Amino acid sequence: MTRRAVVLLSGGLDSATVAAMVRADGFELNALTFDYGQHHDIEIAASREVAAAQGAVRHVVVPIDLRAFGGSALTDDIPVPKGRSEADMAGDIPVTYVPARNTIFLSLGLAWAEVLGTGDIFIGVNVRDYSGYPDCRGEYLAAFGAMANLATRGAVEGTLPVTLHSPLIDMTKGEIIALGTRLGVDYGLTRSCYDPDPVGRACGACDACALRLKGFAEAGFPDPAP
């Protein structure tokens, strides 16, 4: 049987690249997206296009309304910061931090993986360009993996040990885009902006846009997304 992979797919460029890597490695792609009350919900539509383009066998969009708790500019009425330099971004944890977001997403990925009979879970975090989020760091991911291997029936019984893959963690945005391009990723389908306009065009000034534009500049070609 083809090995199954659960890939957390946001609709952005990192997770689209991970989906392509997983397919290139021969895994069956099972894509998992969260509708968590984010303002930038065009990324959910983008995730559907990316999942289809990458040949996902399953794509589940789980509604989990984190607005029940509040606490982030991505879900609350707090302004998204604009025009920050890389030095600004490196300095602190930004207001776009969503409390425990990756822990919640990985937990749901863990549940789905067990139901699908696999322990291979992929997340497209990277810390090389942006180290502001605590739950994107390698030591956090290692601790999640250790916990996961005590959490599920499959892991405890030894049939489905959990492996948490973060293949992009040490790559720059430019390296990620170059790799994905070699693997045929259509980055025109992806969306990264935290604060798009009403017709879905990127603002060009938030942290996510700044990093994306820097990545395409490094890779040496223009961003195909609107």
Give the residues lining the site for a second copy (CB under 8 A): 60, 62-66, 68-71, 93, 97-104, 106-108, 110-112, 114-115, 134-135, 137, 139-140, 143-144, 146-148, 150-153, 155-157
Q: At what angle do helices 173-182 and 13-24 cross, to 10 degrees?
A: 40
Nearest distance from C-beta of residue 64 to a second copy, angstroms: 5
Shortest spacing between CB 150 and a second copy, in angstroms: 4
The CB density around residue 138, as the number of other CB atoms within 10 Å, is 12
Query: Is 32 or 177 the residue whose CB approaches a second copy more closely?
Result: 32
Nearer to a second copy, 24 or 146 (CB): 146
Residues forming beta bridges with residue 120, ordered by sequence position:
163
Looking up tokens 């749901």, which residue turns up?
Answer: 108
* Shortest reach from residue 214's CB to a second copy, in Å: 24
Strand partners, 35: 63
Element holding 219 (H helix, E strand):
helix 207-219
Bridge partners (DSSP) listed for residue 193: none
Is the CB of 94 or the CB of 215 nearer to a second copy?
94
Q: Which is nearer to a second copy, 90 or 156 (by Cβ)?
A: 156
* Tokens standing for residue 18: 């991970």
